[in-house]
Amino acid sequence: MNKREKQLAILNVLRINKVGIGALLENKLKKEKIDDMMIKLFCGWDYYSSSNSEGRILVLWWKSFTKVQVLFDQHQLVQCSIKITGMPMEYLVTFVYGLNTLEERLELWRGLSSIHVINRPWLIMGDFNAVFNFDERVGGRTISAAELIDSNAWLTHSQLVSIKRIGSNFTWSNKQDGEDRIYSKIDHVFINEDWIDALPHSIAEFHWEAFSDHCYCLIKSLKMGSLVTKPFRFFNFWTTHRGFKEVVLDNWNKPLAARGLLGVTTKILRLKHVLKSFSREEIGDVEQRYHQAKGDYQLALTRAQVAPSDLAAQEAVKSAAIQYQDYADRGYMGSSSSANGSFNVQCMEFGTCLDIELQLRLTRDFGKFDIKKALLSIPSVKSLGPDGIGSEFYKTMWLDIGDSISDAVLGFFRDGKIPEALNETALALVPKTDSPSRVVNYRPIA
């Protein structure tokens, strides 16, 4: 297959699958050749290729469907902001073409690690020329531990997860015969939590074609989700599911360079992605069913008020109330109750008039038992912070992770260092009027 036939085959894939934006990797085309190809074959399309990535990454997009802004590019990646017609939100996509050796790819991991995305859906895809697990090559030499160190270190700290995949598991082949044939999985797609919230039904399809020794990859969203980023919320009833502890510990015990409170914070952030998938795949969308039950209950109340003597309407209210309360009891609803036991009541009653015994009690050293006691005093429906992880999680997992939590807390009192994420809180302004328009229309924050 000559170059023009390959280009026609690529164009055919784009048209059949109605692709709005894509990238050709290792295209080996200079600018004048790209201009010629675009004029003759890709009418209505635009492209981006720079001196940094020329011949390696060529970004193409359909102008009437997609607006693309290239934010920056390096030798092994191109970062784009994408606005799709008819959709209010912009998406970030990073196209990757990794170099062949471990040393050369260090630049790729540094480049990816330098990208900080906050509250925007982000997708990273391409030929990483790297593997992330021992089973991602068949034939040829066995994958060594050294091949996995850099790739997994980046993935651990990136807070990204692999997208759901269908089609071919392996994505590259040397196409040799017999025992010399090698299959490898070196093309990958990763997404952040905001992408999952915005496009929860996204999948990556990998298919073989005659024009390349790699699979081509299509990213599809089978159903549009809410474009509003939802905060993570831990459901207490998850802890009763038979697979909960196994899922948590499998993720919690993965190697991590960070230690102390930073290590715990990083593990919690990493765990949130896993628990979201666990909820969707093993349990179902409880939050959606909770809101549905609440709406049904409100509707039943409205109908019962219209016909106060209608016994059927009253029974409908009781049934809807039971259903609603069931989901509420599962841990979705919060609580305004406060913890009791974190303070020494006797010391508070004495105020500033403390005798020596009480002063010593307040200033004595404390250990792991005190940390456990303080945590167990927190009501199970209380969330410890904006991460959405409630105290019930720690209570359930204390036998398995309690030592690491306690060591992290005690470490803070030794070195005085605390991650920024642990020093954040969530504030809710309470309005004084139905339509507040100024700051003075809200109650003071205590």
Domain boundaries, the chain: 3-221
Q: Mean pLDDT lowest for which of 158-167, 235-244, 301-310?
A: 301-310
pLDDT tops 50 at residue 201: yes
pLDDT tops 90 at residue 388: no
Query: Looking at residue 223, what is its pLDDT?
Result: 53
Fold of 3-221: Deoxyribonuclease I; Chain A (3.60.10)
pLDDT tops 50 at residue 244: yes
Please compute the mean of the pLDDT values over residues 392-420 and round it to a whole number: 88
Structure tokens, 8: 């026609």
Place of tokens 């409170």: 261
Query: Looking at residue 318, what is its pLDDT?
Result: 84
Residue 148: pLDDT band with limits 50, 70, 90: very high
Task: Say if CB 51 and CB 34 are below 8 A apart.
Answer: no
pLDDT tops 50 at residue 370: yes
pLDDT tops 60 at residue 344: no
Residue 343: pLDDT band with limits 50, 70, 90: very low
The Cα–Cα gap between 259 and 276 comes to 25
pLDDT tops 80 at residue 282: no
pLDDT tops 90 at residue 110: yes
Query: Looking at residue 50, what is its pLDDT?
Result: 78
Provide the 8-state DSSP code for 232.
P
Query: Looking at residue 426, what is its pLDDT?
Result: 67
Please compute the mean of the pLDDT values over residues 144-151 and round it to a whole number: 92
pLDDT tops 50 at residue 224: no
pLDDT tops 80 at residue 382: no
Nearest to 206 by CA among 50, 444, 418, 13: 13
pLDDT tops 80 at residue 383: no
Compute CA distances 374 → 83, 309, 331, 342, whole Å. Answer: 48, 51, 21, 6
Nearest to 279 by CA among 220, 378, 193: 193
pLDDT tops 60 at residue 68: yes
Query: Looking at residue 129, what is its pLDDT?
Result: 93
Structure tokens, 369: 């038992």
Place of tokens 């894509």: 22
Please compute the mean of the pLDDT values over residues 224-251 and round it to a whole number: 74
Query: Looking at residue 112, what is its pLDDT?
Result: 93
Structure tokens, 198: 């915005």
Q: Which of the pair, 272 or 384, is modelled with greater confidence?
A: 272
Residue 377: pLDDT band with limits 50, 70, 90: confident
Task: Say if CB 387 and CB 269 are below 8 A apart.
Answer: yes
pLDDT tops 90 at residue 209: no
Percent of the chain scoring above 70 in pLDDT: 83
pLDDT tops 50 at residue 342: no
Q: What SS3 state is found at 256?
A: coil
Average model confidence (pLDDT) across the chain: 80
pTM greater than 0.75: no
Question: What amino acid is encoded at 181 in this protein?
Answer: R
pLDDT tops 50 at residue 333: no
Query: Looking at residue 392, what is its pLDDT?
Result: 86
Task: Say if CB 198 and CB 229 are below 8 A apart.
Answer: yes
Please compute the mean of the pLDDT values over residues 303-332 and round it to a whole number: 70
Please compute the mean of the pLDDT values over residues 229-238 and round it to a whole number: 72
Please compute the mean of the pLDDT values over residues 415-438 and round it to a whole number: 75
In sequence order, the β-bridge partners of residue 58 are 24
Question: What amino acid is encoded at 258 in this protein?
Answer: A
Residue 309: pLDDT band with limits 50, 70, 90: low
Q: Which of the pair, 347 or 26, is modelled with greater confidence?
A: 26
Residue 355: pLDDT band with limits 50, 70, 90: confident
Please compute the mean of the pLDDT values over residues 350-364 and round it to a whole number: 71
The Cα–Cα gap between 100 and 116 comes to 25
Bridging pattern class, strands 202-207 and 164-167 = parallel
Query: Looking at residue 332, what is its pLDDT?
Result: 46
Greatest pairwise CA separation for the chain in angstroms: 91
Q: What SS3 state is found at 123?
A: strand
pLDDT tops 90 at residue 362: no
